[in-house]
Chain A
Amino acid sequence: MTIDQQINFHTISVLVDNEPGVLARVIGLFSGRGYNIESLTVAEVDIEKAISRITIVTSGTEMIIEQIKAQLGRLVPIHKVSDLTLDGPHVERELALVKVVSTGDKRVESLRIADIFRARVVDSTNESFVFEIVGDTGKLNAFIDLMRPLGLADISRTGVAAIARGTEGL
């Protein structure tokens, strides 16, 4: 495989007008042109100016990634497109709620691992815990894998939120 064809993951931050249909525009662009979405999060970040921030984790060859950014930049309600993966060091965080149903040793073990991962217990019954865990995607995956044999019953993840390190804003 040459460098041109190598598939890489990129985290892209997009500032958009918070208006009806804007998310549909972004998602429609990805499905219509056959791009991948690994994760997508969106929330309003400036209520006064009605600006939302979308964080997309996508994958593709360098040519495809360049296309994705150019195509996003073409949408009228989009103010800024930034490739955090290219632009320098950045922080990525995701939150997951993980429900584990078990008793006895397994229950104790799940709590012990949660402690190692600095996950918090946000709900508890005699047979179950709901853990809240924050971290990058890799940490969450590792935690979930460890919970699997210990009675993993349900998972809800937020998707990736990301921001550049240092003083610069988007």
Chain B
Amino acid sequence: MSTTKISGAEIILKALADQGVEVVFGYPGGAVLPIYDAIFNQNQIRHILVRQEGGAVHAAEGYARSTGKVGVVLVTSGPGATNAVTGLTDALMDSIPIVCLTGQVPTHLIGNDAFQECDTTGITRPCTKHNYLVKDVKDLSKVMHEAFHVARSGRPGPVVIDLPKDVCMALENYTPKEEIELKKYQPRLKPDADRIEEAVELIAGAKKPVFYCGGGVINSGPEASRLLTEFVRETGYPCTLTLMGLGAYPASDKQFLGMLGMHGTYEANMTMHGCDVMVCVGARFDDRITGRLDAFAPGAKKIHIDIDPSSINKNVKVDIPIVGDVAHVLKDLMKVWKDKKCKPDAKALDKWWAQIADWRAIDSLKFDQSGDIIKPQYVLQRLGELIKGRDSYITTEVGQHQMWAAQYLGFDEPNRWMTSGGLGTMGYGLPAAMGVQIAHPQSLVVDVSGEASFLMNMQELSTISQYRLPVKCLILNNFYMGMVRQWQELLHGSRYSESYMESLPDFVKLADTFGMTGLRTTKPGEVDDVLKEMIETDGPVIADIQVDPAENCFPMIPSGAAHNEMLLGPDDKAEKPVSEEGMVLV
């Protein structure tokens, strides 16, 4: 412990530096002025000024997800904190490590309905992994370090530290990271050895196996992705990934079936439906994945690997639960597999792959780019081709474009794909791209967007401009909230209630006002040129690509349907009307 007392605000900055924080995304205000003063007086930590607090959290999410580090946010009390709530909930749903510092009115005013006061810990309790209200500067060092520990350990998540102004101004000694005892939160990493044995036995005996893997693999670190790839290749079994897991297994590999779930490939969903052994690695049997629960993988024995015991048996009862960190578990699985000299049942596996080849032959992602209207799928397919082999990162907003991006852009590495999966937050992609670009200044960062989502956090264009971030905004402009329109067409008799985007801005002019390059095309023949120009331009770009407004995202498992009841395309829908109970589901 140092002997000189410093202010609470300086303790915060010291603790951030001690935790290896390089960047903070924030927005100042009355209650956090002491912290901003401390930021002014140091050079170690860089502050990125966003234009709305919601943008700060998404930027920190993009930063965290693309680096594996904890993203840090600094906002003021009251509206600063409430604006951050969407981002915090997003980070909780997608298990992204965030530490969010919120200002608070001085302790003697708490509870008095003071100016810009809100019950931040009360509001954020259900949307954070944990939160703190620091009432005494003596606790500040400990809380700071504990918050980082909680945010990054176990299943990662957002942590809020609420900081009354007087606490930030009070003087106290700083306690460095090494001197803090963290015994409170110690999640289990090593799996149970007996379970590993049982799992290996089940995997080795499988006749129709599948690996179903998710964001937990990516959260476990790049080593987990490497181990997963090694193990899947060792077994020769098929592998499918969730939306959050894309990149955990190389998309270019022949054992990869594509994404599964509501808009997953036919082969991925049919393989899930028909498998006899399912190995779920770091995924959580979400409703977008399972479809109708009572018809989910009816003949399968299920192994579930997850660091969070509450994920196990939540939606789907599994046969072998393994609680532990994905990398640890895969390492142990592989060791037992090799020690026992396990070999997959080659004959059964050949038959299984032949069946999968039949499903693949359906070519569920096919589309027809023959007319003179641009198909959105074509744009993404071309983007995928043009950035192949490049050091690139993709973020998305939420909706049809997000699903198409997931379907057509292949990811061979983890941490390259940033999307709002659990919460489905429109407006996520632009600020997230900002955060990614801050972390990787030399890399190509593309926000694949729809025009409606883009408008949700468009104020961040000003941030992009201020920091000269060369973010590429690729807008698939179909003049509709595409996914809303699609559901209205399929489920509500094509009554397009409020889903048309009136009065859109001229995106080229918009780019111009922020000193960005604006591009536009309406012709399929120009798509490649526009994409190339977007990629090659040094600075930020908005590319307004006007696509077919009537295009729907297929394949699709309608809500309330099972994996083997997919709609493959527009001609499919008439024969299989969505059930009443399906209509009720989201």
Give me the interface of A with B, judged by CB distance under 8 Å. 17, 20-21, 24-25, 28, 32, 63, 66-67, 70-71, 73-77
Contact = CB atoms under 8 A, between A and B. Distances in A.
Interface residues of B, number: 18
Contact of B308 (A66, A74, A75): A74
B314 interface: yes
Interface stretch (B125-133, B525-533, B558-566): B125-133
Contact of A67 (B130, B133, B185, B313): B313
A74 B310 contact: yes
Nearest to A20: B133
Interface in B106-148: 121-122, 125-126, 129-131, 133
A21 B126 contact: no
Nearest to B187: A74
B184 A70 contact: no
B125 A24 contact: yes
B150 interface: yes
B312 interface: yes
B317 interface: yes
Interface of B: 121-122, 125-126, 129-131, 133, 150, 184-185, 308-310, 312-314, 317
Q: Is the interface of B mostly helix, strand, loop or mixed?
A: mixed
A66 B150 CA distance: 23
A24 B122 CA distance: 8
B126 A67 contact: no
Contact of A21 (B125, B312, B313): B125
Q: Is the interface of A mostly helix, strand, loop or mixed?
A: helix
Nearest to A70: B310
A17 B131 CA distance: 14
Nearest to A76: B130
A28 B121 CA distance: 12
A70 B314 CA distance: 10
29 contacts: A17-B184, A20-B133, A21-B121, A21-B122, A21-B125, A21-B131, A21-B133, A24-B122, A24-B125, A25-B125, A28-B125, A28-B126, A32-B126, A66-B313, A67-B310, A67-B313, A67-B314, A70-B308, A70-B310, A70-B312, A74-B308, A74-B309, A74-B310, A76-B129, A76-B130, A76-B150, A76-B184, A76-B185, A77-B184
A64 to B, nearest CB: 10
Nearest to B184: A76
Contacts of B126: 28, 32
Contacts of B131: 21
A71 B129 CA distance: 11
Contact of B313 (A25, A63, A75, A76): A63
